[in-house]
């Protein structure tokens, strides 16, 4: 399954993932102190199930990693090994979680610093509200597969059919995450026909 568009995430450009033993394993809320800094682990599943941000209360800094980015929306995908979970629901809850911290600046893993973390979180929440409507509309009349929906929605980087296999995997995973969220809200219905899965709008 790792070689398929909906398979588990592998390494960069399709290479096998590399593994390492971490120096410390942190749980949500645990604090690491050093040189006058106190970094609090903030579990923020969504982009990945184990994603964590780090909050430094003395300087009011939030290290957001890939969870909150200043310009683009982080990829939130449903993969084959996440049956029963809702990454988009997790992501939205995690946005609300970090928005509640008293933050002077947010420092993401990409792009540039974020001056107003709460405002950026609200923008991302509204973006996914709009995307959910677009995905539901793209299901259309009758049955639609995840690929059908991915081909019908708009992507900032161009049409789905022009993507390479790795971009298609990300786009399809994101579409599936939105369909799962809509399914949990009973706004679409999943139809499992064995080798193929479709969705239809619940009216």
109 Cα distance to chain centroid = 15
Does pLDDT of 195 surpass 90?
Answer: no
> Which pair of structure tokens corresponds to residue 3?
């070689």
Strands 188-192 and 197-201: antiparallel
Distance CA 189, CA 136 (A): 11
User: Three-state SS for 118?
Assistant: helix
Does pLDDT of 111 surpass 70?
Answer: yes
Nearest of 3, 5, 4, 50 to residue 25 by alpha carbon: 50
pLDDT at 1: 34
Rg (CA), the chain: 18
Domains along the sequence of the chain with CATH: 12-201 (3.60.15.10)
> Which pair of structure tokens corresponds to residue 164?
């390479």
Does pLDDT of 15 surpass 80?
Answer: no
User: Three-state SS for 112?
Assistant: coil
């Amino acid at each position: 399954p790792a070689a398929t568009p909906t398979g588990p995430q592998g390494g960069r450009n399709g290479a096998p993932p590399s593994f390492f033993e971490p120096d410390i394993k942190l749980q949500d809320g645990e604090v690491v102190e050093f040189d006058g800094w106190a970094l609090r682990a903030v579990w923020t599943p969504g982009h990945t199930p184990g994603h964590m941000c780090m909050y430094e209360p003395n300087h009011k800094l939030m290290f957001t990693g890939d969870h909150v980015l200043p310009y683009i929306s982080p990829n939130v995908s449903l993969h084959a090994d996440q049956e029963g979970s809702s990454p988009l629901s997790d992501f939205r809850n995690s946005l609300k979680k970090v928005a509640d911290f008293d933050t002077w600046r947010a420092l993401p893993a990409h792009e540039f610093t974020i001056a107003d973390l709460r405002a950026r979180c609200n923008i991302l929440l509204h973006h996914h509200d709009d995307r959910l409507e677009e995905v539901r509309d793209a299901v259309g009349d009758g049955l639609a597969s995840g690929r059908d929906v991915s081909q019908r929605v708009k992507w900032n980087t161009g049409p789905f059919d022009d993507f390479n296999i790795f971009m298609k995997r990300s786009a399809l995973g994101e579409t599936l995450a939105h369909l799962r969220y809509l399914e949990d809200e009973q706004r679409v219905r999943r139809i499992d026909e064995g080798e193929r899965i479709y969705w239809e709008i619940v009216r």
